Amino acid sequence: MAMTGPLAPWAPGMAEWLTRLGYTPRLVERHLQLAGGLSKFLHRRGLTASDLSQELIEQFAAARRAKNRSRRPTARSLSWLVDYLSDIGVATAPAALPVRSEQQVLIERYRDYLTVERGLVPDTAANYVPVVTLFLAAHPVRELHELSAADVSEFMTSQCRQVSTRGAERLATGLRSFLGFALVEGLISVSLVGAVPSVARWSGSTLPRGLTSTQVAALLSSCDRRRPLGRRDYAILLLLVRLGLRAAEVSALRLDDIDWRTGEIVVRGKGRTEERLPLPPDVGAAIAAYLRRGRPRRPEREVFLRACAPLRGLTPDGVSEVARAASERAGLGSFGSHRLRHTAGTQLLQAGASLPEVAEVLRHHTIATTAIYAKVDHLALRDLATPWPGGAR
């Protein structure tokens, strides 16, 4: 059915846009039907495409849900249309944001500081935001100039009673980071980072939880490599378990980062670092199989793409979900990608690699971070054990 109303002139472009995003013809038709309904909605109100706003989209979606309970569209269902009309310059402000509070503005500036100045990836920066939100709830922005060391200590004391040791560590790290930002921004006049107490915890008190060789084999076997999705997931799991990459590093891997001639890949790690690692033959073969017989022919340069439209690069959360789904299929419980990073570390050590070599592969900044893996090499530790006094000789 032909589209009518103020959005009709752009219907062909909409179809082409959706197709480029990887939607199937059936889904393209469904999305165009929804856009056609929105076009009629605008026509009935005497509005044009340039009048499109987030409020109007919400009103349209609510009206459709009230009229037809079997299909319950949301404003998010039309996010592609907002992007398309903005891209071609038809809707200059289709999704006007509400007026932000002073606190929200400051948090956004802090997030930019973490990603631009400190070089943190967006997902890592997002982990600091809840801490700042909690702190600003107790100490509003306009009162920060009066902040004292006692206020900081009191906040930490009250909050640490409600969280675990790990949660308290995250709280302290996030608060120190924000107080450093506040000093740079001139929100406070003296450094209060030292007022954040350290969390008591024994260094290296936990063991890295790696998988056994049998469990790794079961994890990899859970991928159906006869299908494109299985080939993609198999290559991702091999990168995680053989090279110990982080989820964000797998997500950031681009086609230009693979040097097939030298057998190396460029890994973009924390703090915008770039390092070259050797590409093991089995990992390279798995990536090549996905590129040849699994990856859609797309202009995106990311190696690993989503399986469903819109076909874009896989996010770090998507990479971790690949590991989680595989662990559940293999009957190993449910865990994310970092468990496989631990597996890489323990397997390297058990294969005879030294701690500095393991640190180099895992790209640890200090050898102290890697030292925890020594505790899982029981055979090596046995030689260091002191005989029990009076025991058998």
Expressed in angstroms, the distance from the first to the final Cα of the chain is: 91
* pLDDT for residue 381: 45
As given in the structure block, the two tokens for residue 37 are: 């309904």
Note down pLDDT in tens along the chain; length 393 residues: 588 888 989 989 998 888 888 888 888 888 888 889 888 988 898 888 888 877 888 888 888 777 765 566 777 778 788 888 888 888 654 444 455 688 888 998 898 888 777 777 677 788 888 899 999 999 988 889 899 999 999 999 888 888 877 788 889 999 999 999 999 888 999 999 988 988 765 555 555 577 888 999 999 999 999 999 999 999 999 999 988 898 989 999 999 999 999 999 999 877 677 888 899 999 999 999 999 999 998 889 999 999 888 888 998 889 999 999 999 999 998 888 888 888 888 777 766 676 676 666 777 666 555 666 555 554 444 444 456 666 555
Q: Which residues on adjacent β-strands are paired with residue 264? A: 259, 278
* pLDDT for residue 384: 42
* pLDDT for residue 182: 92
What SS3 class is residue 17? helix
Residue 329, CA distances (Å) to 210, 224, 285, 306 in order: 18, 11, 23, 19
Whether omega for the bond prior to residue 98 falls within 30 degrees of 0, making it cis, is no
Active-site amino acid positions: 246, 270, 338, 341, 364, 373
286: burial class by Cβ within 10 Å (0-12, 13-18, 19+)?
Answer: buried
Burial 16-46 (b: 16+ CB within 10 A, else e): ebbeebbbeeeebeebbebbbbbbbbbeeee
* pLDDT for residue 136: 92
Q: What is the DSSP string of 264-313?
A: EEEEE-GGG-EEEEE--HHHHHHHHHHHHHTS---S--BSSB-SSSS--B
* pLDDT for residue 97: 45
* pLDDT for residue 63: 81
pTM of the model as a whole:
0.64
